[in-house]
């Protein structure tokens, strides 16, 4: 019997994989920076959450929700299958 044939037509081109790795790298760098700030100065991180750029405390949650909703909407508009290839 023949070996399992892996379909690779859906995986996209090399450019989409590069974007995937760049996005993952950027997310990892942001996480490391946030962890570093919180680890070194917890009081500064707490005060940064309480007032984000001079806005009230609820504004951070609203801004995060709006950014997440826009990214989710943009993700629905894209027709990519690269996650299956990872």
Q: What is the mean pLDDT of residues 14-38?
A: 84
Q: For 33-57, what is each residue's pLDDT tens digit?
A: 888 888 888 887 777 667 767 788 7
Confidence of residue 60 (pLDDT cuts 50, 70, 90): confident
The pTM for the full model equals: 0.47
Helix ranges restricted to H, 1-86: 14-40, 42-50, 57-77
Instruction: Assign 72 to helix, strand or coil.
Output: helix
């Amino acid at each position: 019997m023949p070996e399992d044939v892996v379909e690779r037509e859906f995986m996209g081109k090399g450019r989409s994989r590069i974007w995937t790795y760049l996005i993952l790298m950027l997310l990892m760098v942001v996480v490391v920076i946030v962890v570093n700030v919180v680890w070194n100065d917890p009081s500064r991180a707490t005060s940064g959450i309480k007032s984000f750029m001079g806005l009230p405390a609820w504004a951070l949650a609203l801004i995060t929700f709006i950014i997440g909703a826009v990214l989710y909407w943009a993700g629905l508009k894209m027709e990519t299958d690269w996650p299956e290839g990872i």
